[in-house]
Structure 1
Amino acid sequence: MDFVSVLRLIIYVAYVLVIIGTMLIVISENRNPIRTLAWILILNFIPVFGLILYYVLGQDTQRKKYFKKRGAKHTYSIPKSESLCRNKDKVPDSCHDLVKLLEPSECSDVLYGSDVEIMTTGERKFAALIDDLKNAKHHIHMEYFLFNKDETGKEIKQILMAKAAEGVEVRFIYENVANITVRPKFYYEMEKSGVMVCPFMKMSLPRIRRTINYRNHRKVVVIDGKIGYIGGMNIGDEYAKDPNWRDTHLRIKGQGVLGLQAHFLNDWSSSGEKTVENKREYFPEQKIYSNNLMQIASGGPDSPYSNLLHAAIRIIVESQQYIYIQTPYFLPTDALFHALYAAAAAGVDVRLMVSAKSDTAYIDPAMHSYYEDLLEAGMRIYEHQTKFIHAKTMVSDDYVSVIGSTNMDFRSFEASFEINCYMYDADIALQNKAIFFEDLKGCKEIVLEEWVKRPGWKKLLESFLRLFAPLM
């Protein structure tokens, strides 16, 4: 053999050893078997790209250590008062387990008496938000997964800059990767006007795997510690103006704002910014507007356990009458899938609403792979024919409601930083339920007898893409 042939052989053997070694590492990490299988398939079918992808998105041996250190910077909690401590006593017995499950999460105290407006159109959300921002007196705290540099984004940006110039404290956290097309000049102009701007995780070569894989999907606004926003709408024209974009957001006044404030300030400090002083100014006394009870709970790779996933499962298994879900992406973990299956099989009215066509083509077949088994169990699945359902909502038994940023998929439950509002209130639940039924008017129900007749090639494609669902 000549030198070139020997060199090729050495490179080939080294390459094969690297692939095999990587597979062994994947297996030894004792992940979810489906996730492990997905990585092994990628490494087999597209080895070169697979190695790069695994390095960027898969392996991060320092993740736990890094996020433990990051979580140590969470120094804010909701100031305790006698009335706040008694809030938990108002929770009915049927919700005690869910409340207890969420309480170990940071800043997840039970909050009483909030005024809650459920907003289902971008027109209403942005009209209210712009008005509230313009009336801010002391501070504006804002973090968004997407802050587009379109007409809507520029309008919000100008308001933030104007308020900062007036002397209002404006803090703004942005997600690095999701806004990668936004040039530094966009943020520099904000900083120049006095807005304090910070990426959720700073982009650097040593951190590139964490920065790309673990994204801040939260959407939070706090104004003067008295008005708060949480939900599914980002900042952008499609959320504000597109009539075919269906989303849900909350505007909150009262104690619920305290929870949003604590979560924002912890995100601010853990992102590397200076701790905010004069804490009391950010947690003012709140009026009591109603009998509403709520918890603001966040989740992410820095959480000690998968609290948002466990909460979803708990709500499903505790449902006695019904559970209605809206989500843009339905790629459930095994535990969530079996909880839905068991509830439907037990006679609970379980309904799922998604879009007939999502904004990500390869996700749709993977979603469809879950339908047949759930339909057989008795679950009802609806696809909206004209609108993209971007809302992330749950409502159960005319009492429990969830609205936030969390999708029903692996990424939201395992890799993204998310935040949800859990509400224990009959009036809110009935509003949520009515919204679900209003949206049903534009939906087509998936019927099992027709669904099983779809072409064999579609079933094969769905089954194949389902293998990669944990990585989507």
Structure 2
Amino acid sequence: MIEIVKHNFWTVVLVLNYLLAASAAATILSKNINPTKTISYILTLVFFPFLGLIVYYFFGQEYRKNKIFNRKHILNQNIIRSLQSDFELDLGQMAKLDDFLGDKIKLVNLLKKSENSPLTLHNDVELLINGDVTFDYLLKDLKAAEDHIHLEYYIFNDDSIGTEILNILCEKATKGVAVRFSFDSVGSKLSKATRNKLRKSGVEFYPFMPVLFKKFTSKMNYRDHRKIAIIDGKIGYLGGINVADNYLNNRKKNKHFWRDTHIKLVGEAVKPLQVHFLTNWEFVSGQRFKVSKNLFPDLSATSGEVAVQIAASGPDTDWANIMEAIFTAINTADEYVYITTPYFIPNEQIITALQVASKSGVDVRLLIPKISDSWTAKYASNSYLESLMEADVKVYRYTKGIIHAKTITVDGVFSSIGTSNMDYRSFNINFEINALVYNKELSRQLENQFMEDLKDAERVDFERWKTRPFHQRAKESYCRLWSPLL
């Protein structure tokens, strides 16, 4: 028997591969997931022996249903009820909000039902354009921290700007400020010397789901793609800007201009942001966290009245909250939808919503990069453009550099700023967080910035696009086949 196996080793291995592939295919079919994704996985299993099994093992497991993420010990029902009672709007406030939002009140109700995400009213929101401005604000607030600093980032490098922030964290920790720092193991680069320095200074830090051989796992599933900073439970930051030198345009000469958007929150919206940070902290640290009042200070004196909901999604949520919010926002649009995203690999629901909105007379505009840091994502994105332009969606490609902002503004009423791209990975796989803002002034600012960005963009001509070379179309088709796995 052993001799037979030796003489037919590769045949035996190949048969074993296809037996395992058949089992994996049966599992995929039984889940009744998106047909495109199902076909992509099955074709990979059939035509790429061994490699297909590896791809399925790393990318095909559905952890949302398996619940491997430690389910929100911090978010017990008492805390949820307590937070919601803090934010409960009276009848007069709700009536004003109904009049202001119209059909978009559906967004508020959607998140309240699917994620227990309360609508917060007493907030100030400041739009921050690009890394230089954002880091100036963040550094100033970090230096002024008195009680605690919480950071959660997908990319945090110990380069120039990273070291500047890390030095503040170390200094604050030595002075008694509680510093908790979570970073994604795949996205971030922190040297052993940096980690030792943080440890000696008293900074608590943990990597999110550590992996080996990071060079080969840049697209590993279930990454923490969030960019969150919380200072003293009163000030919060979130958006598209990671901590790395390539996000700076003025301080260091980079290969490309980097265009991005972040926001600074002051007020009640920091509380749900804090809850999401603490939920993640329990997971990465393996510790049960004791909630204290200093983490959720009284913010009733906040002068602003900007309505904000914090929408988070990931394998720990039962619903694709951010995708559903975007879908609802598009469907309730009456005048315009302006979308900026660095990665546009949408699902069928979003494609249909954009097409229907445009065909019904809504001004739908999409801004994506012309220069991308991923050629597969670029060609996959391009494969969707023709069907959108057929429905009169206006498509623009940013030419000044790399556009990394992840924003949506609708009808001068609703805006979304956060970490989520318009792609399958952000909608279903990675941990993401967005601020949904219901405010005319912020919508106006975001609309003005969108129009400024269009000055550094080229509109894709539909007639010329239809005649693009065959080899480009072939690349698009190939990359689109893999798009559910990107």
Q: TM-score range by the shorter chain?
A: over 0.9
Structure 1 partner of 2:52: 50
Q: 1:421 to 1:435 in 2, by over 3 A?
A: same
Following superposition of structure 1 onto structure 2, how do residues 176-195 of structure 1 map, counting pairs within 5 Å?
176-179=185-188, 181-195=189-203
Cα deviation digits, residues 242-262 of structure 1 (max 9, x gap): 571000000111122222112
Structure 1 partner of 2:133: 124
TM-score normalised by structure 2 residue count? 0.90
How many angstroms apart in 2 are the aligned matches of 1:261 and 1:105? 19
Alignment gaps of 5+ in structure 1: none
2:459 corresponds to 1:455: no
From 220, 229, 243, give the equivalent of 2:237. 229
Structure 1 partner of 2:224: 216
RMSD: 2.4
Structure 1 partner of 2:165: 156
Letter in 2 for 1:70: R
Work out the number of aligned pairs and report it.
467
Deviation, 1:74, is: 3.2
Letter in 2 for 1:42: T
Cα deviation digits, residues 127-185 of structure 1 (max 9, x gap): 11001000101111110011012111111111100000011111111112222x43444
2:266 corresponds to 1:264: no
Following superposition of structure 1 onto structure 2, how do residues 433-472 of structure 1 map, counting pairs within 5 Å?
433-472=447-486
**8 A Cα contact 2:150 2:229, kept in partner:** yes
Q: 1:89 to 1:284 in 2, by over 3 A?
A: farther
Letter in 1 for 2:83: P
3-state SS in 1 of match to 2:386? helix
Cα deviation digits, residues 438-457 of structure 1 (max 9, x gap): 10100000111111110112
2:334 corresponds to 1:328: no
**8 A Cα contact 1:200 1:271, kept in partner:** yes
Structure 2 partner of 1:141: 150
Cα deviation digits, residues 306-334 of structure 1 (max 9, x gap): 11111110000100000000000000001
Deviation, 1:8, is: 4.6
Cα deviation digits, residues 235-292 of structure 1 (max 9, x gap): 0101133571000000111122222112212221233443443521111122232231
**8 A Cα contact 2:74 2:288, kept in partner:** no
Cα deviation digits, residues 325-370 of structure 1 (max 9, x gap): 0000000001111111111111110000011121111111111110
Cα deviation digits, residues 207-260 of structure 1 (max 9, x gap): x99x94101111111111111101010001011335710000001111222221
Q: 1:137 to 1:273 in 2, by over 3 A?
A: farther
2:395 corresponds to 1:381: yes
3-state SS in 2 of match to 1:103? helix
**8 A Cα contact 2:67 2:315, kept in partner:** no
3-state SS in 1 of match to 2:375? coil
TM-score normalised by structure 1 residue count? 0.93
Cα deviation digits, residues 12-43 of structure 1 (max 9, x gap): 43333333333333323322111111112222
Letter in 2 for 1:79: L
Structure 2 partner of 1:70: 71
**8 A Cα contact 2:87 2:120, kept in partner:** no
How many angstroms apart in 2 are the aligned matches of 1:131 and 1:7? 64
Deviation, 1:382, is: 0.3
Letter in 2 for 1:16: Y
2:168 corresponds to 1:166: no
From 311, 321, 331, give the equivalent of 1:297. 311
Letter in 2 for 1:64: K
How many angstroms apart in 2 are the aligned matches of 1:451 and 1:212? 33
- Decide which moves more: 113-122 or 400-409: 113-122
Structure 2 partner of 1:115: 124
Following superposition of structure 1 onto structure 2, how do residues 301-380 of structure 1 map, counting pairs within 5 Å?
301-380=315-394
Deviation, 1:68, is: 6.2
Structure 2 partner of 1:402: 416
**8 A Cα contact 1:383 1:443, kept in partner:** yes
How many angstroms apart in 1 are the aligned matches of 2:110 and 2:290? 31
**8 A Cα contact 2:416 2:436, kept in partner:** yes
Deviation, 1:117, is: 0.9
How many angstroms apart in 2 are the aligned matches of 1:467 and 1:347? 31
**8 A Cα contact 1:317 1:339, kept in partner:** yes
